[in-house]
Structure 1
Amino acid sequence: MPGPSTMDDLFAAAKAAQARAHVPYSRFPVGAAIRDEAGRIHAGCNVENAAYPQGACAETGAISRMAAEGGRRIAEILVIGPGAMLCTPCGGCRQRIREFARPDTPVHVAGPEGVRRTFTLDELLPHSFGPDNLDSAGETP
């Protein structure tokens, strides 16, 4: 079983996935890498489709890969995009991340040169709805 990854491992995995992105329409390649609860790294890239909006975000691919490989908790995630602006996860991906992460989970946002900023999931998706809401649905307030 692999040990905990370093930031360099996450960055390298996300950058490698970004290089394989299928982006013939936007020309905006994004890569994402997740470290799960066991320290394993799972990467994904965005995949566009001519029948827009049938494509998939890099974060979605990484989450799907994590689940398929037995991971159940996101310990941290790194997203890399091109250009000068921060490439934070879209709203839908923030909610997908929430399904497998806690509010204090680090979300690292990177560019070609490295990590530009780190947020917690709660900073990106405050007062979020997640699995714990459903767990407590039958309880009285």
Structure 2
Amino acid sequence: MDLKQAAQAVRENAHAPYSKFKVGAALRTTSGAVFVGCNVENVAYPEGTCAEAGAIAAMVAAGEREIAEAFVIADSPDPVPPCGGCRQKLAEFAATSVPVTLATTDGTERLTTVGDLLPGAFGTDHMDRT
């Protein structure tokens, strides 16, 4: 499955009645499976869910734990990066070298990596007291 097409398709399902800013995300795991998510807003801000978080939740619910590639798309003038929380969520399940494509609905794309999105990420090594 093509990540771009998957992200574009799920973006259309976003629930964004307040911001009108629909976002779609697609993740490919190391097994080759693809998981998608879209933003889901809630009138009680900030109780919504980001597209990346939704895709990660679907991945984990299916028993997968390792992201190999990610694609995020939104209708914005420039490719939109994940929020800080979603950068940390991606870092939880992806190596720093994992490619992340950020895209706009008009076709502009920017390739980056999880490590470039979140340098100095908090990780399990920060919790090791031995």
Classify the TM-score, shorter chain.
Answer: over 0.9
TM alignment of 1:17-28, pairs within 5 A: 17-28=10-21
Under a length normalisation based on structure 1, what TM-score does the superposition of the two structures give? 0.87
Question: When the two structures are aligned, how many residues end up with a matched partner?
Answer: 130
User: Among residues 89, 99, 110, which one is paired with 1:117 in the alignment?
Assistant: 110
Matched, 1:70 2:73: no
Ranges of 4+ aligned residues in structure 1 off by more than 4 Å: none
Partner residue, 1:130: 123
Secondary structure of the residue aligned to 1:103 is coil
Question: Identity over the aligned pairs, expressed in percent?
Answer: 49
1:15-66 Cα shifts (integer Å, max 9, x gaps): 1110000000000000000001100000000000000000000000000000
Measure the CA separation in 1 of the matches of 2:106 and 2:45.
Answer: 30
CA deviations on 1:57-96 (whole Å, 9 max, x unpaired) are: 0000000000011111010110001022221100000000
Cα RMSD (Å) of the superposition? 1.3
Q: Which residue of 2 aligns with 1:106?
A: 99
Q: Which secondary structure does the structure 2 equivalent of 1:83 belong to? A: coil
Distance 1:119 1:30 in 2: 18
CA radius of gyration, larger in: 1
- Deviation, structure 1 residue 115: 5.6
Match of 2:79 in 1: 86
Query: So what's the TM-score if we normalise by structure 2?
Result: 0.94
Q: Which moved more, 1:42-51 or 1:67-76?
A: 67-76
